[in-house]
Amino acid sequence: MLKFDVLVVGELNVDLILNQIDGLPEIGKEKLAGQMTLTLGSSSAILAGNLSAMGAKVAFLGKIGTDSFGDLVIDSLQNRGVNTELIIRDPKLKTGATIVLNYDEDRAMVTHPGAMDLLTIKDITKAKLATAKHLHFSSYYLQPGLKPNVPEMFKMAKDIGLSTSFDMQWDPAEKWDFDYKKTLPYVDVFFPNLQELKRLTSQ
């Protein structure tokens, strides 16, 4: 039975953001930051929250731990009106986290993927997909457990009548090993930015 307008499948993590840092990091030395913010990260989660704010009924499917970071993820999504009943919480895993170092108009980031590495196609069933009208998937390169089966996931969604969208995002390894010929036939809206598209097509 349809319950949601959109089901977002993607990575979940928190962001620890440091501002007013007194210099670049150096091995063996300690730097101070004047400001710190701990907040919900993940481009997938931000999109889900924005869609919910626009009035859509949105659910999220992802994987996190049962730690305090996982609690922050759940609370933040629920506060944004996003349904979290399909999020898998595994006590053996850690919720992902990104440390963001802001320097004026630039920034450096270090990410521990944690549980987002271990979301797989086994976690995504037709019954879960069938709760929504539309499937959105984001951050392909941050989810190695799901990468090999992304075409299968989109095909399954199309087979049961969902519309689909895909935000590939940047490849941290810069290998760009995405077989778009197998995936894009099942994607209605594909929106890489210009740099991502150039890298993907070797332009």
Write the pLDDT tens digit of every residue in 131-169.
999 999 999 999 999 999 999 999 999 999 999 999 999
Provide the domain count of the chain: 1
Taking a C-beta distance cutoff of 8 angstroms, is the pair 178, 199 a contact?
no
Residue range of the domain that includes 121: 4-12+42-95+113-200
In a domain, 76, yes or no: yes
* Pairing status of strand 163-167 against strand 189-190: parallel
The CATH number of whichever domain residue 138 belongs to comes to: 3.40.1190.20
Q: Which pLDDT belongs to residue 57? A: 98
The Cα–Cα gap between 26 and 24 comes to 6
In a domain, 29, yes or no: no
In a domain, 150, yes or no: yes
In a domain, 27, yes or no: no
Write the pLDDT tens digit of every residue in 27-52.
999 999 999 999 999 999 999 999 99
Q: Which pLDDT belongs to residue 124? A: 97
In a domain, 37, yes or no: no
